[in-house]
Chain A
Amino acid sequence: MLSHSLVHIDLDTFFVSVERLKDSRLKNKPVLVGGNGDRGVVASCSYEARAYGIHSAMPIRTAKMLCPHAVIVRGDYEHYSKYSNMVTDIIKENVPVFEKSSVDEFYIDMTGMEKFFGTFKYMQDVRNKIIKETGLPISFGLSENKTVSKVATGEAKPNNCMQIHYGEEKTFLAPLHVRKIPMVGEKTTELLKKMGIIKIKTIQQMPMPVMTSILGENGTTIWKKANGIDNTPIEPYSERKSISTEETFDQDTIDVKKLGSIISAMTEKLAYQMRTENKLTSCITVKVRYSDFETHTIQKKIAYTSTDHSLIATVKELFKKIYQRRVLIRLIGVKFSGLVFGGHQINLLEDSENLLRLYQEMDFIRNKHGKNAVQRVSGMGYDFREFNPFNGIKK
């Protein structure tokens, strides 16, 4: 069988690096990006901050305790996505197939390119080009599959690269901590530790059925990954198929009226966004997180639409269904998925022409004077922030 050449390429401390481009004073200092006041989490932190034990997804408050002199930056998502797109464009121009798995991470399939030029050498050139053109540090790993390459990138960092030759995957992984396997999180690490499994080598020596009996299907996958086996293909970069928004409250709330207003305002904004992008949704998801972090989601399939009234009605109906516990709510979110290209098919019996005209006029005003220029009264006063759903950073 033809062996594959898969590259995992990852921007180092992406948000921090972008902030450092804007403000060179941040260099060589512990920097945290993220957070809205006291309740936010660390979205990205510099290596200097990591020395204090800070890691991403840690509450800002805890991070401050660990390193009181860290510089905290609020973050500018639009700016980050601009840089992310710059990197995407460079990669797009230089490689045959790639997958953008997040804002700062890419998988590249270089299979079949070895004949023409050394893949490793070529990827080094691409990396240097990215560094030169964007000024951002970036690392990559090259191996036979996605998992090994991702682990290799992690080992290569900061700002370096690494190649794992075909057949050496197991030896490369063996001395590493189990935590390094992608998808092994805190809980799994704990569980494995209790059983005396600390190094990947131990998993490699275990028979697969044992891992399966401990961790179910995940156990099988983890065992395979530990042995350097991973057949997942590259999923080429495609247009997004969903849009969403969510809001974490400054203070947990149980005010149902306020919650209703907020989700209707969220829906209104998303619906406008869909209409400007000429999209229709067929699936609505509502998410609720209670103050004890218990999270519930509910979804419903609907006929393709982008009109406020039908979306708001469904979102409210779903919220009513899902909000069952009489517990304070910490976060609420709305997602539209199953997006297709097209305009709303007007319904002969249900859509009133005046209402449709109203939407058109409102959209016209928004296009001209900004998206907050006009909105429903019920949603007014709740000028919720719009977040990047990945990291909670304000746009």
Chain B
Amino acid sequence: MKFIVSTTSLLRNLQLVNGVVNTNTVLPILEDFLFVIEKNKLTISGTDLETSIATTMEIESKANGKVAIPAKILVEYLKTLPEQPLTISIDDESFAVEITTDRGKYKLNGETGSDFPRIPAADNVEELTLSTAVLQKAINKTIFAVSNDELRPQMTGVYFQLNNEGITFVATDAHKLVKYKRTDVQAVSSTSFIVPKKALTLLKSILPSEDTQVKISYNSSNAFFKYNNVSLICRLIDAKYPDYNAVIPTENPNQLNLNRADILNTLRRVMIFSNKTTHQVILKINGNQLNVQAQDLDFSNEANEILDCQYSGADMEIGFNAKFLSEMLSAMDNEEVKLELSTPTRAGILLPTETESGEDLLMLVMPVMLSV
């Protein structure tokens, strides 16, 4: 098997796939790219058994076939080459790979492609289409709230809830929760699934900056994200997502309106003086004045800032993890935000004061208990 390909376009495609290729895996073949040639088309795939990425590109080749090539050495080598055509030939018996440039010859050992794990095919799927911009936004707004607790696998991914009214993306680690809803996209039938955080992180890193359409297909065990010549396939988390709607408090009589940039900057400063593990800050709201305090008794650190705000409700004192608050505020893009509160032991709800049409955003953060 022999084919000709340009260095830059090969490298660009390899780098898309490379994110999913692990080094030091239990299965050595997972350190390889799978090259499959069929009718002048080269498909490159990589997998970690949970998530797979595949890209397709045009090449010149007379024969068809497949081979697994070690990823690290190939990418490292291609990075050093200037743009030029490469001739890659593979011995059909020994799977030895030989790369020829106008300057020299390079050899490395490949493995038989038939040992490469099978990447799931999109069988019995339903489909829907999203623009990359919307998908990117949904990932950015939710992914930071996903839990890392492997004892609760259901929370280690983003929950996609689809119906004829729209798509809702939910993420929570039981301390904070984000619910992002798009009403400008509809699904044919109602369904829901949990996409692992790792797959979404990878997807986020390979999504192109120009706006195109991403086709999302899904069945009971896998989700397939496909745009242009690239597809990302991931195994869904097989668990029941917690009933998040039931825990979002609806009656929150106290409303605090804030300038997002102001509160974010205050929190970033005050947080430096808080305990490095708990990042605890106390918000004291008195009339139209918000007092943000932090202290770390172990180091005698203390910070205290006063912010003007608009507040309607009873004066109160509530503790939060400042890291959570600032993560949430950073994931928003409105100028003005409002924090709805009820009691110091109940969730705070962070909302944008204005939303773009077609979207709906709610963030929730649990307070920390203050000593009585």
Contacts and interface: CB of A to CB of B under 8 A. Distances in A.
Interface of A: 238-239, 275-276, 278, 280, 304, 306-307, 340-350, 353, 356-357, 359-360, 363-364, 367
Contacts of A275: 369, 371
Contacts of B296: 341
B214 interface: no
Contacts of A353: 345-346
24 contacts: A239-B297, A278-B297, A278-B371, A306-B369, A340-B277, A341-B278, A341-B295, A341-B296, A341-B298, A342-B277, A343-B280, A343-B369, A344-B368, A344-B369, A345-B278, A345-B321, A345-B366, A346-B367, A347-B366, A348-B175, A348-B177, A348-B364, A356-B369, A360-B372
B242 interface: yes
Interface string B338-372: 00000001110000000000000000101111111
B174 A347 contact: yes
Contacts of A359: 369
Given A306-B369, A359-B369, 12 more contacts: A239-B297, A275-B371, A340-B278, A342-B277, A343-B368, A348-B172, A348-B366, A349-B242, A349-B247, A356-B345, A357-B345, A364-B372
B110 interface: no
Q: In this complex, which of B242, B296, B366 has the most chain A Cβ atoms within 10 angstroms of its Cβ?
A: B366
Contacts of B367: 346
Nearest to B368: A343
B175 A347 contact: yes
A342 B280 contact: yes
Contacts of A348: 172, 174-175, 177, 247, 347, 364, 366
A364 B298 CA distance: 25
B319 interface: yes
A356 B366 CA distance: 13
B254 interface: no
Interface string B231-255: 0000000000010000100000000
Nearest to A278: B371
B334 interface: no
Interface string B315-346: 00001010000000000000000000000011
Contacts of A347: 174-175, 366
B344 to A, nearest CB: 9
Contacts of B364: 348
Nearest to A340: B277
Contacts of B174: 347-350
Nearest to B177: A348
Contact of A341 (B247, B280, B366, B369): B280
Nearest to B321: A345
Contacts, number: 77
A347 B277 CA distance: 17
Contacts of A340: 275, 277-278, 298
A137 B295 CA distance: 39
A306 B174 CA distance: 17
A280 B275 CA distance: 11
Interface centre among A343, A350, A367 (most CB of B within 10 A): A343
Contacts of A307: 369
B278 A342 contact: yes
A280 B372 CA distance: 15
Given A304-B277, A353-B346, A357-B345, A346 B297 contact: no
Contacts of A344: 368-369
A364 B297 CA distance: 22
B278 A304 contact: yes
A341 B367 CA distance: 15
B177 to A, nearest CB: 6
A346 B369 contact: yes
Nearest 9 A-B pairs (CB), nearest first?
A: A342-B278, A343-B368, A346-B366, A343-B369, A344-B369, A342-B280, A340-B277, A341-B275, A347-B174
Interface string B153-196: 00000000000000000001011010000000000000000000
Nearest to B277: A340
Nearest to A276: B371
Nearest to B366: A346
Interface string B267-280: 00000000101101
A344 B345 CA distance: 10
Interface string B28-49: 0000000000000000000000
Contact of B297 (A304, A306, A341, A343): A341
A238 B347 CA distance: 35
Contacts of B345: 346, 353, 356-357, 360
A20 to B, nearest CB: 36
Nearest to A341: B275
B247 A342 contact: no
Nearest to B344: A360
Contacts of B295: 341
Contacts of A280: 278
A364 B346 CA distance: 19
Contacts of B347: 348
B20 to A, nearest CB: 30
Contacts of B298: 238-239, 340-341
A348 B152 CA distance: 14
